[in-house]
Amino acid sequence: MKRREFVGGMGLALQAQPVRPLGAAALDGVGSKTRITNVKTFGVTYENNSDRPYVFVKIETNDGVVGWGEGTLEGKANAVMACVADFKEFLIGADPMLVEHHWQSMYVHSFYRAGPVMGSAIAGIDQALWDIRGKLLGLPVYKLLGGPFDPAGVRGYYHVRANTMDEMRAVREKAAELGVTCVKGGIPGYYEWIETHAKIKAAVKHLENMRAGLGPDIDIGIDFHAKTSPAVASILCKEVEPLKLLFIEEPCPPENVAAMKKIAERCTTPIATGERLIAAYSCRELVEMGVVDILQTDINHVGGITALWKVACLAEPSGIKIAPHACEGPIGALATVHVDAAAPNFLVQEICSGVVASKIEKMWEEWLGFPAMRMVNGKFPLPTKPGLGFDLEESAFAKYPFAGTKPMARVFHEDGSVAAW
């Protein structure tokens, strides 16, 4: 053979070798023979004024099994999709069964610790990997995690979209009809660091009206949304103790652990927080210091099923419950239900929907073929199919082309200073 032919033959042989991530060869003795062949992202704009167009992730494999996940991040859809694309070289040619390895590689090898953009990208990928894992093993994900505790499903709550007493009573009647035992509302307006008596009185009156309208038997969570300073939150928490709320959420920004601790020490109502936290590591201090009663990390931001499960495991020995946040799309919400079903310290599952289904829930049903995240007798039913439990076609998104990212709300006090919302 001539040298040129030999070298040319070597080139063809080299080109024929499949692309694989760094370090993959060391894991050939474990896992499966299935290999990831592609990672796709889909931006889905369902409302032109939405700050959270859905970001869905689809992972394809050489044996035809696909997995779906969600990394929707409010105000940052473009950034998340770009980050998912950056992670392709971590995944193409790899075994999808090695979920923990991929999570560690994406998180650790990125060097700079994950914020919401990276956390959401990892979340979408991680959910899709668990979906594939369940399908390959023929089991729903909650069974892979050791569940379920209750085959009837997991307890949930809707958001109260009512202001007048008549509207509150209508919510109460509809909740009773559906067997819903828990709802969540919020406090009105925006708050200065030190607030007036009139503003505080108005907030307390709003919550008193909510309790009166919804009645004594339904559990109520109230989201402060970190709009209040530690000083204002402490006053409000004390004033509303007679209402026997299920929890008060984000009475101050979650990164201010010392301030959160001060509020918790002054209040007998359970304190909840966590929707803005990324990875289980970010919850460690809250757990160790006994600051919170309930952790609410969001599966689409915290880092997927892997990270949410670790948050639950971290919290459980300390008697802390989980009540995961879910205000994005249907894939992440359904993935959360799998973790809920297997977690011994699960409390209640949020969905940012009203007691009456809206056009968004009807769109989800159009995509998935069943009424996703609608409760039956006060509980979200458990999927029975393998993986995350649904079938989905790319063509379902054709009517909702991606229209870019819009920022989240920007609100200001009367003097023009930035207000938290």
Three-point CA angle 132, 91, 130, nearest 5°:
25
In sequence order, which residues have a C-beta less than 8 Å from that of residue 261 and are 6 or more positions away? 289, 290, 291
pLDDT of residue 255: 83
Rounded Cα distance between 241 and 238, Å, is 5
For residue 257, count other CB atoms closer than 10 A to its CB: 17
Rounded Cα distance between 375 and 380, Å, is 5
Phi, psi of 273, deg, nearest 5: -165, 170
What stretch of H or E contains 207? helix 197-214
Point out which residues pair with 294 in neighbouring strands. Answer: 272, 321
Closest CA to 97 of 133, 56, 61: 133
What stretch of H or E contains 193? none
Domains of the chain, CATH where assigned: 143-384 (3.20.20.120)
pLDDT of residue 18: 63
Rounded Cα distance between 373 and 334, Å, is 7
Closest CA to 263 of 235, 227, 296: 235
pLDDT of residue 299: 98
Query: Identity (one letter) of the amino acid at 150?
Result: D
Q: Cite the active site residues.
A: 225, 325
Residue given tokens 């909740």 in the structure block: 175
Cβ atoms of 57 and 125 within 8 Å: the answer is yes
For residue 369, count other CB atoms closer than 10 A to its CB: 12
pLDDT of residue 325: 98
pTM, 2 dp: 0.94
* pLDDT averaged per 10 residues, the chain (length 421): 45 53 88 96 91 96 98 97 97 97 97 95 98 98 97 96 90 92 95 92 96 95 95 95 97 89 94 96 94 97 98 98 97 98 98 93 95 96 97 95 92 93 86
pLDDT of residue 154: 98
pLDDT tens, position by position, 35-93: 999 999 999 999 877 899 999 999 999 999 999 999 999 999 999 999 999 999 999 99
Query: Identity (one letter) of the amino acid at 106?
Result: M
